[in-house]
Structure 1
Amino acid sequence: MKHFTKTAAAAVLGLGLGTAAVAQELYVPNLAYRTGPFAATGIPLMNGQADYFTMLNERDGGIGGVPVNAAECETGYSTEKGVECYEKVKSDALVTQPWSTGITLQVLPKTNVDEIPILAPGYGFSPMADGTVFQWAFNMPAGYWDAASMIVQHMESEGDLDGKKVAFLHLDHPFGKEPLPILEKLAGEKGFELLPIPVGLKEMQNQSAQWLQIRRERPDYVVMWGWGAMNAGAITEAVKTKYPMENFIGVWWAGHDADLRLVGEDGAGYKSISWSFPNADAPVMRDIQELVIDAGLSETNPEEASGVFYSRGVVISAILGEAIRTAQEEYGTAEISAPQLRWGLENINMTEERITELGLDGMVPPFSTSCANHTGHSGGWMLEWDGEKFIKASDLMTANQDDYQDLIAEKAQEYASSNAPWPTNEECSATN
């Protein structure tokens, strides 16, 4: 009973694999942040995540016939509270979803002991891509260094970057500093000046000093690594100072519809790289609308449900759901363990065909993972605000991994050495 086809798995696993044991639930807690300075982004993401699993429970009885328990532990995006939440939920958890680079970095050393995988889609510590070193951590479908590579590619597509000036407006937080190694490397190689401009947590809503510096420096581009209230503050200041919005580009966490609605048409041209896209016509969105939203089982509203962040939450839970199915099929059991889920996370193959089977048409690019590749490097689309909504402004882009593969290995080994003894996956070849 080790292997199943995807179509047969749910039916067979739903029978409970015999009468000796009855499947209870799949516990996938979420370290949520519906409160605090980043709540504006956390709420739609958490709603999308929760609604996808509610839909699966209502439509399919869960995954493999086992209901999903996606309970939340509120962190307010506080690293201290995040670690408390982790300790509170870890005894029964299949996965840790930290929702903060700071929390991820604190939990990361614990994973080797607790053997609970971290799922940090599109965030966290970029060298986690190296699964030979970070056996329990995953940041699929794409990481921050992928994002930086694609943003630089976009700027380069508009003209030679040699001699240009790029302001890097970033949250003064581990998250905001993540892309600096690759941006500094690319600046040296391509001849552009990188001007880091940090925004402190207490300055997020008042960035007059930062934008005064931008006005004085007159950069050719502003790249924003922002989060929560910082993004709204930056976009408002950019409009106020008449910075050309077409030269203002954000990471995927700086592409939130609600932030751009504050400036409306004045924000037209602003761009954000993204590994997800809100397709209201996708079958999964129709099922969520019918079985969850219309049934009164959701906390979302129509405006939020049509946006980038809500749909990204749906995609994140769909990725986790696919890892659970993959593990169930491999091990022939509906009630998988956390180590078995790790295997599932390492063996995701989101082909175009599988994306269609899951009803996620146009919502996420194809990607796959392995024991060595815990990021997937899916690529992404450049989204552009048209004054009312985000639209796809590019074909699917892919990161140039040659720019940073050596850097991933180098930084991963540095981390392992500084946290020695650090166990690695000796059975996994870096080429797998």
Structure 2
Amino acid sequence: MRHFTKLAAAAVLGATLGTAAVAQELYAPNLAYRTGPFAATGIPLMNGQADYFAMLNARDGGVGGIMVNAEECETGYSTEKGVECYEKTKGRAIVTQPWSTGITLQVLPKTNVDEIPILAPGYGFSPMADGKVFQWAFNTPSGYWDAASMILQYLHDENGSLDGKKIAFLHLDHPYGKEPLPLLEKKAGELNFELLPIPVGLKEMQNQSAQWLQIRRERPDYVVMWGWGAMNAGAITEAVKTKFPMENFIGVWWAGHDADLKIVGADGAGYKSISWSFPNAEAPVMADIQKHVVDAGLSQSNPEEMSGVFYGRGIVISAILAEGITAAQQEFGTAEIDASQLRWGLENINMTEERIDELGLTGMVPPFSTSCANHTGHSGGWMLEWDGEQFVKVSDHMLPDTSDYQQLIADKAGEYAEANAPWPTNEECNAEG
């Protein structure tokens, strides 16, 4: 810490508790999508996020003695509405949470001017990992290229080699769905596998007969899916219908939603999803949420949803934001941090195993840390598999091979900055952070 020891910072924060009642709040708006074609995934995520902050507000009086207002602005996953929500909330916000790669790309240049950090956990523009170029953007704890790296590692380990294999890339025809293509194309050349991109339009999400006819015709060894919302259920249903071997079907973390697999039940057994979060009903945080939020009638969730991957991920996302807030409060000696101070906090998260346990999140998120130069953290994750009833871990903690695409991150970040010149960079950042 630059100015305060932990003990001194705690004393300063303790002294601010008496003035916390005068302070309005920390305004951390969430650009939610509880409606629209992606609502099935949005609802449990938003519920998990909201319940975690409701728990902190009820149990601890917020974060550092100041309440957190995690107000939602509904976008329906529409980029246009997302930008409207950003403009509407930016005046008081210490952070913006776009919840869509499309929205993220639209507000990315604006945050440089408005000086508001973007928190996009596990989504957004992969080169945002480069904190020198993207000073205000954070895609902690893992990015899409991390996901692609781990999926390819898993398949490579399963086969001993990917030489001569054919991998279909079933993806939403949207900026989100196209995110991993630069790395997948690079690795296809290096590992000598055939990459077969198969886009799914927004209007085709629930009827993918054409895409799965192509998959039947091409007979790929594996299908890797970058799906979201209704696309996931549509793809999983078609895979079962066409008798595609589910053990050869792997999705990114947004394609690992319990509700989508429950539609097919035991027929979906073997389907996998890489994930940087995992639900743990026995984690202490779940008991605290039950006591302070659910039993108090403050939650919109239900027991079935609360046991799922996406609700647990929502909790982890809010915990990451709360850790950024805490780091900033301790560094600057005030509970009432501003957006610029939160940026520092998000650059100095250190989620060790010990800290994860202290937060009551045992087993729910891998350890990671961020820095000035590293805005992702590259936590890695676990391969999850649907056993017919629920997702279970079928791997140890996996880590992406970031050395494989560190140059790609730098190149793409540089291209973005050049295309959007003049683009301010943080020259104080070095390679180590």
Q: CA deviation at 1:4?
A: 4.6
For residue 394 of structure 1, what is the aligned residue in structure 2? 395
Q: CA deviation at 1:21?
A: 9.0
> Is the Cα–Cα contact under 8 Å of residues 351 and 366 in structure 1 kept in the other structure?
yes
Secondary structure, counterpart of 2:416 in structure 1: helix
Q: CA deviation at 1:24?
A: 2.2
1:383-407 Cα offsets, whole Å, 9 max, x none, are 0000000000100000011110000
Alignment of 1:381-420 (within 5 A): 381-420=382-421
> Is the Cα–Cα contact under 8 Å of residues 284 and 358 in structure 1 kept in the other structure?
yes
Which amino acid in structure 2 is aligned with residue 378 of structure 1? S
> Is the Cα–Cα contact under 8 Å of residues 20 and 66 in structure 2 kept in the other structure?
no
Q: CA deviation at 1:15?
A: 3.6
Which amino acid in structure 2 is aligned with residue 404 of structure 1? Y
1:34-88 Cα offsets, whole Å, 9 max, x none, are 0000000000000000000000001000001101100000000000000000000
TM-score by length of 1: 0.98
Cα distance in 2 for partners of 1:246, 1:172 equals: 24
Secondary structure, counterpart of 1:140 in structure 2: coil
Cα distance in 2 for partners of 1:94, 1:353 equals: 27
For residue 86 of structure 2, what is the aligned residue in structure 1? 86
For residue 272 of structure 1, what is the aligned residue in structure 2? 273
Deviates more, 1:327-336 or 1:151-160: 151-160
TM-score by length of 2: 0.98
Which amino acid in structure 1 is aligned with residue 84 of structure 2? E
Cα distance in 2 for partners of 1:17, 1:66 equals: 8
Alignment of 1:249-268 (within 5 A): 249-268=250-269
Alignment of 1:333-348 (within 5 A): 333-348=334-349
Cα distance in 1 for partners of 2:9, 2:73 equals: 31
Cα distance in 2 for partners of 1:407, 1:287 equals: 42
Q: CA deviation at 1:286?
A: 1.0
Secondary structure, counterpart of 1:292 in structure 2: helix
Query: How big is the alpha-carbon RMSD for the aligned residues of Structure 1 and Structure 2?
Result: 1.4
Alignment of 1:29-428 (within 5 A): 29-159=29-159, 160-428=161-429
Q: CA deviation at 1:431?
A: 2.4
Change (3 A) 1:236 1:44: same
Secondary structure, counterpart of 1:277 in structure 2: coil
1:116-163 Cα offsets, whole Å, 9 max, x none, are 000000000000000000000000000000000000001101111100
Q: CA deviation at 1:430?
A: 2.1
Which amino acid in structure 2 is aligned with residue 204 of structure 1? M
Change (3 A) 1:76 1:20: closer
For structure 1, the residue ranges without an aligned partner over 5 or more in a row are none
1:292-320 Cα offsets, whole Å, 9 max, x none, are 11211100001100000000000000000
Q: CA deviation at 1:5?
A: 2.2
Secondary structure, counterpart of 2:16 in structure 1: coil
Q: CA deviation at 1:9?
A: 5.2
Secondary structure, counterpart of 2:375 in structure 1: coil
Cα distance in 1 for partners of 2:239, 2:417 equals: 41
Cα distance in 2 for partners of 1:77, 1:410 equals: 29
Cα distance in 1 for partners of 2:213, 2:21 equals: 65
Which amino acid in structure 2 is aligned with residue 52 of structure 1? Y
Change (3 A) 1:92 1:150: same
Which amino acid in structure 2 is aligned with residue 136 of structure 1? W
Q: CA deviation at 1:259?
A: 0.1
Secondary structure, counterpart of 1:16 in structure 2: helix
Identity %: 82
Deviates more, 1:308-317 or 1:13-22: 13-22
